[in-house]
Amino acid sequence: MVAQWLRWVAALLLLFLGMATSGFGPPPGANPTPTDSERLTQSELAILRASPEPTLSARSAVLMDPATGRVLWGKAPDRRLPIASTTKMMTALLAAELADPDEVATVYPRDLVLGSTVSLREGERLTIEQLLYGALIQSGNDAAVTIADHVGREYLGGVGDDGIETFVRAMNVRARKMGLTNTQFKNPNGFDAPGHYSTARDLAVLGREVLANPLLAGIVATAQYRMTGYLTVGRERTLVYHPVRTTNELLRSYRGANGIKTGTTPQAGEALVASVQRGDASLIAVMLGATGRFADARALFDWGFDQYEWLPITPFVFESPVGTVALQQPLFAAVAKWNVDLPFFHAGAGAARYWVGTEPLEIPLSAAGAP
């Protein structure tokens, strides 16, 4: 009881000093303490707290708030599992970071792998952007390998057939830089292979990075597209069209769905990295080893929207004089609906600190989500 009282006193002192120093009211983006009319009633609180957690078919799952990178719910989130074509998120991210989307790549026989394809032809030429549509929308293995082959040779020092392997090594380097310590790639398209794995938590972080890239975010939100390449015969160019359709049925059936990537192999079962945006509210859900991934995603998103609301939070620099506000735009963070008066989260040493209501909210941010 004493500790609770001290927390209230400290919070009020901080708020008072901040107002006195700045000469204004609450920090920009901060949320005032709700009035009695805005508070939840005891019956509303009981209903929210009694809301059952989702029951999923997936062996591993995560629900993340992409604005902050905070995991809101998890089921074996760090279990290493095969990830199938969700691999292509890293292939696309690395290609988008290294190559110009308008540069042209050539399809070689080594790129024409089996499985899910977009029916590329030997000798066909397409831009990197067209290939990204094929790899991410219809999960074309041939498009993903062509991307890796081209980028590996043109940007990473690969020679001939070694371009693909060079690209895969760069995928693993990029994963380490992102802090994906439970992720390892053996190919650019997601075929089952010993040592090719990730976790639901790592894939949520990777999906967040994909959505932070405007080109990729637009592609993964596209339900259907017509890829265009060309073949050269003598001096003549013949256009080749590849209609592609998304493998992510949520784009057509769940309100606000805007990505990201599906995957299916014998060892992985059904995999899905899904995202939803509804106004200021956003969520990423990951399912691995599922038998009903889309039903899992709907249940997980429904639970998230039932349990959380999104409030503006303003970054604070705590090492600066009291009342100093970082000159940055507020983020909208998921906060439990029954705890909006004084939400307080401990994220460990070095975490970014934010202000919500009358207490600091500590949330870890990756570089992609930093304001």
The catalytic residue among 88, 198, 261, 275 is 88
The catalytic residue among 60, 85, 116, 198 is 85
Q: Which residues contact 96 (CB under 8 A, 6 or more apart)?
A: 132, 213, 215, 216
88 is catalytic: yes
366 is catalytic: no
Q: Which residues contact 138 (CB under 8 A, 6 or more apart)?
A: 116, 118, 244, 245, 246, 247
**Interior/surface letters 326-338, b for 16+ CB within 10 angstroms, e for the rest:** beeebbbbbbebb
320 is catalytic: no
Tokens of 206: 């990777």
Tokens of 143: 């498009």
**Interior/surface letters 142-162, b for 16+ CB within 10 angstroms, e for the rest:** bbbbbbbbbbbbebbebeeee
Q: Exposed/middle/buried for 258, CB within 10 Å: 0-12, 13-18, 19+? A: buried
E strand or H helix at 125: strand 125-127
The catalytic residue among 139, 198, 275, 282 is 139
Q: Exposed/middle/buried for 66, CB within 10 Å: 0-12, 13-18, 19+? A: buried
Residue positions annotated with a catalytic role: 85, 88, 139
